[in-house]
Amino acid sequence: MKISYTAAYIVVKFYGLTKFPEIASKFDSFVLDFYKHMVGFLPSHLSWYQRSLNSYLLRKFFIWSEELLLPGDLMHIICRKYYMTKLLDKALNNGVEQVVSMGAGFDHLGVYASTKGIPTFELDRTLMVDQKQEFIEQYNYQNELLHLIATDFEKEPLSDTLARIPKFDPDKKTLFIGEGFFDYLPPHTTKEILSNIKSLNPRNQLLTTFFSLDELNWFHRFSFTSGVSLVGESLKLPLNKEEFVKLLSDYGFQLDNEISYKEMQEELVSSIGIELPVLKGFYILDFVIR
């Protein structure tokens, strides 16, 4: 079993892009330090990026090569980290009492939420949990509110995973996070998870990213899917954005906030002043249970 290379390369790309001061200024020091540490922690064949991306010329070369194959992929990473953090803060301010990050990978959101005094539960495959646990201990991110739990979403129902966590309280209003998550699950697993989230507590919320690949042209769609395949992973949810929202509606979820790649371009990217697009078909969706 290998680590998730899609998760690892997101860390690398985010770190490289935030070496540009105009991008780094959009994030607080906690987020910047987290990914700086994470890049250095990655296996040696990936951690070398921490040194190489200090070079302005190498950063420009990597950007040029990435944009050649899949325009917007790099800036979508900046946008997803920015807006997911912003929406997490909003949820915490609106009374969320605990956070569950599904497929947490190498992301900062679970650790970040725990530093805000909120019980947080990161769920992922055993190897990813072991790697993340080693990381948070090495860089002193561990605290009594942060819990990492190994599971396999395709083999164990979410409700069963949460039931074996003594400190998870189903009576608390919970924010479930699925950053880069549902795209990699088959429809039956997605439906089971949605059913579990709703049945646990009618006050729960769901914050997720979603790629609507039908909005990419054939070459960029091929670049996206083949890139995922090259690192041994696959996209399993054959839905576009409208179909995904309809699926959630069928399970009792109401779309409360939608941020499209166009809005990200107009609001965040234009304020940065870097001439890079945001990947077409990328959305951040915030749901409540109706």
* CB-based contact 146:110 (threshold 8 Å): yes
Q: Where are the domains of the chain?
A: 71-219+234-289
* Residue 230: burial class (beta carbons within 10 Å; 0-12, 13-18, 19+): exposed
Largest CA distance in the chain: 52
Given this model, what pLDDT does residue 69 score? 86
- Rounded Cα gap, residues 16 and 35, in angstroms: 10
Structural tokens at position 118: 């909120």
Exposure class string for 170-205: b at 16+ Cβ within 10 A, else e: eeebbbbbbbbbbbbbeeebbebbbebbbebbeebb
Q: Which two tokens stand for residue 47?
A: 């951690």
Note the pLDDT of residue 233: 86
pLDDT of residue 127: 95
Show the DSSP H helices in 29-107 as ranges: 29-41, 44-47, 49-52, 56-69, 73-93
pLDDT of residue 52: 72
Structure tokens at 123: 């769920």
**Cβ proximity of 223 and 70 under 8 Å:** yes
Q: Which residues of the chain have pLDDT under 50?
A: none
Q: What pLDDT, on a 0 to 100 scale, did the predictor assign at position 10?
A: 93
Class of domain 71-219+234-289: alpha beta
Joined tokens for residue 117 = 């005094």
pLDDT of residue 289: 95
Residue 243: how many CB atoms within 10 A of its CB? 13
pTM for the full model? Answer: 0.94
Report d(CA 89, CA 222) in Å as an integer: 35
Mean of all residue pLDDT scores within the chain: 93
Chain centroid, CA 137 distance in Å: 21
**Sign of the CA dihedral with 113 first, then 161, 107, and 254 last:** negative
Cα torsion 226, 227, 231, 232: sign: negative
C-alpha–C-alpha distance, residues 163 and 154, integer Å: 17
pLDDT in tens, 178-198: 999 999 999 999 999 999 999
Tokens, residue 55: 């070079």
CB 47 within 8 A of CB 61: no
Nearest CA among 183, 181, 176 for reference residue 200? 176
